[in-house]
């Protein structure tokens, strides 16, 4: 225990704020923060750029995403705007802003854990295309599932509304039926029955 506290004091004198006390042999076990990964490629960001949806992407991946045809509006015939890869809503702008602070943080992290640089992170254009196309297919599949769920829920809502309308109609008819039975003398308590 005494030796551990001495080691901690020695380490404290040799480190800067934010340093993590892992031996270099453990750096391979250190998880890369999720914010350092491109949401499209899931690779460490090398040229991070921020998009109008507020998320940061690898430049080559988001460039490729933005260049994909989106079809046309069936009512106006105007080409549809690019959509956010994460939120599936139209982007307000296709302007990309370099995220230098994140790039610097990633570089500092990788400098601190050089073992994490074992595999080159740069993806060639073919890899980016394949990744983006896979991502698009995944988004389309999720969209199809959501549309199916929505249709089922709309059908269920329609059935529930129909049942509610039937119940209301039956409830309105009930007081009229009850009143007619009471007026007909069936159990009204006349003197003939006593």
pLDDT digits (tens, 9 = 90+) for 45-67: 999 999 999 999 999 999 999 98
**pLDDT, tens digit, 9 for 90 and up, residues 73-124:** 889 988 888 989 988 888 999 999 999 999 999 999 989 887 776 454 455 6
Confidence of residue 178 (pLDDT cuts 50, 70, 90): low
| Predicted structure pTM score | 0.51
Q: What count of other Cβ atoms lies within 10 Å of the Cβ of residue 138?
A: 10
CATH topology of domain 24-132: Herpes Virus-1 (3.30.40)
Question: Are 99 and 56 contacting, i.e. CB atoms less than 8 angstroms apart?
Answer: yes
Angle at 89 between CA 38 and CA 81, to 5 degrees: 95
Tokens representing 152 are 């089922």
Task: Return the domain boundaries, the chain.
Answer: 24-132
């Amino acid at each position: 225990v005494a030796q551990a506290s001495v080691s901690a004091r020695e380490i404290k004198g040799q480190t800067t704020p934010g340093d993590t006390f892992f031996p270099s042999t453990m750096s391979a076990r250190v998880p890369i923060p999720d914010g350092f990964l491109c949401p499209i490629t899931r690779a460490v960001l090398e040229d991070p750029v921020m998009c109008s949806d507020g998320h940061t992407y690898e430049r080559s991946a988001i460039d490729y995403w933005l260049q994909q045809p989106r079809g046309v509006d069936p009512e106006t015939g105007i080409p549809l705007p690019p959509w956010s890869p994460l939120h599936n809503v139209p982007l307000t702008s296709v302007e990309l802003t370099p995220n230098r602070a994140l790039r610097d943080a990633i570089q500092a992290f990788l400098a601190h854990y050089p073992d994490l640089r074992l595999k080159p992170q740069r993806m060639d254009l073919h890899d980016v295309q394949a990744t983006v196309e896979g991502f698009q297919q995944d988004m389309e599949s999720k969209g199809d599932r959501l549309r199916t769920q929505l249709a089922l829920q709309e059908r269920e809502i329609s059935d529930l509304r129909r049942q509610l309308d039937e119940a209301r109609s039956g409830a309105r008819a009930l007081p009229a039926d009850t009143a007619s039975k009471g007026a007909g003398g069936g159990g009204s308590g006349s003197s003939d029955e006593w």
